[in-house]
Amino acid sequence: MALDGILLRCRVKLYEPGPVSKDLLLKVHTPGLIEGVKGDPLCSTAWHSAGGVVMAGEKIAGGEIANAFAFIGAGGHHSARDTFGGYCCFNDVALCIVNLREKHGFRRFAILDTDAHHGDGTREIFLTDPDVLHVCVCGQEYESPDGTKVDLGFPDPRECRGGRTMNDAYFDRVSRSFPDRVRRFRPDLLFWYFGFDTHQGDYGDIGLTGPCYWNIAVLMRNLAEEVCGGKLEVVLGGGSRTELATKLIPPVIGTLAGKDMWQTEFPGG
């Protein structure tokens, strides 16, 4: 019901995905991980969650849609080749990348991960892959020698003085660190791993509210239009509160559709 207005007023279509194929899973994960996911009740939605992310990438690559927001029931960024956990089962973004490389000839990808926790599974899978730029805003500082694997710390609360908010400091960190790297990297497609667990009151609370996420959505849409013809996939990450999801997600989808709804319809965060 939270999406009814978006579906009626904006250029948005809702797709129902099928499950990811076992053949594709085996190109990213070991048989042991797949069996482990089968036995974990927290992973009951993993096949369709990953299937949705893969399907969205295919529809973008085929020109059916310009960009996508992929809902998930089980996350992906903590899932490595042979290990999973933290409510993450199959690495949905990695599966999408492998599929796009094989079927559509895409080669280079840039990932912005703004979940509260480090995307350690994604980092492990693509650690030695120079054609994947992985920038994770995860509370620590690191940059690989080739500049394709980057961790950014959270803003220090002491940066929030004189009317400057944590939203301001966080968005400033993203906008100063990610776009120029992407412009130099020239990816075929952008991913934004969007976790709202960093929101005030959620389990990864660092003091953010809605306008920060919505500003990032505008930044990512515009950046994708600039560097790769608008090809952007937003993948839902961490977040546990239904009322926050209901408030935060529709404006992100509206922004992807080219309408910055939050500026008029969701004032104040």
Residue 262 has pLDDT above 80, yes or no: no
User: Taking all residues of the chain, what is their mean pLDDT, rounded to a whole number?
Assistant: 95
User: What pLDDT is attached to residue 261?
Assistant: 65
Contact (CB, 8 A) for 107 and 130: no
CA distance 37 to 26: 13
pLDDT, average across residues 46-56: 98
Q: Phi/psi at 135 (nearest 5 deg)?
A: -115, 120
Domain ranges of the chain: 4-263
CATH number of the structural domain 4-263: 3.40.800.20
Residue 265, pLDDT score: 58
CB count within 10 Å of CB 145 equals 6
- Helix-, strand-, coil-residue percentages of the chain, each rounded to 5: 45, 15, 45
Give 219's contacts (C-beta < 8 A, 6+ positions apart): 171, 174, 175, 178, 179
Q: Give residue 8's pLDDT.
A: 87
> What is the Cα–Cα distance from 30 to 123, expressed in whole angstroms?
17
Q: Exposure of 124 by Cβ count < 10 A (0-12 exposed, 13-18 middle, 19+ buried)?
A: middle
User: Could you read off the pLDDT of 108-136 as tens digits, one per residue?
Assistant: 999 999 999 999 999 999 999 999 999 99
pLDDT at 220 over 90: yes
Residue 269 CA to residue 258 CA, distance in Å, equals: 19
Q: Give 268's contacts (C-beta < 8 A, 6+ positions apart).
A: none
Which pLDDT band holds residue 263 (cuts at 50, 70, 90)? low
pLDDT of 163 reads: 83
Q: Which of 131, 151, 132 is nearest to 141 (CA)?
A: 151
Half-sphere exposure of 7 (CA within 13 A, CB side): 7
The C-alpha atoms of residue 147 and residue 161 are separated, in whole angstroms, by 31
Question: Distance between CA atoms of 141 and 151, rounded to whole angstroms?
Answer: 5
What is the model's pLDDT at position 161?
82
> Which pLDDT band, with edges at 50, 70 and 90, does 186 fall under?
very high
Q: pLDDT tens across 67-114, in order?
A: 999 999 999 999 999 999 999 999 999 999 999 999 999 999 999 999
Distant-in-sequence, close-in-space partners of 143: CB < 8 Å, separation ≥ 6: 149, 150, 151
Is residue 266's pLDDT more than 80? no
Degrees, nearest 5: CA angle 162-210-141? 70
Question: Residue 201 pLDDT > 90, yes or no?
Answer: yes
DSSP state of 77: T
Tens of pLDDT, residues 7-44: 988 789 999 999 999 999 999 999 999 999 999 999 99
| Nearest by Cα to 136 from 198, 215, 202, 61 | 198
- DSSP H stretches of helix in the chain: 4-9, 22-25, 31-38, 46-61, 92-104, 120-125, 166-177, 179-185, 210-228, 242-256, 262-265
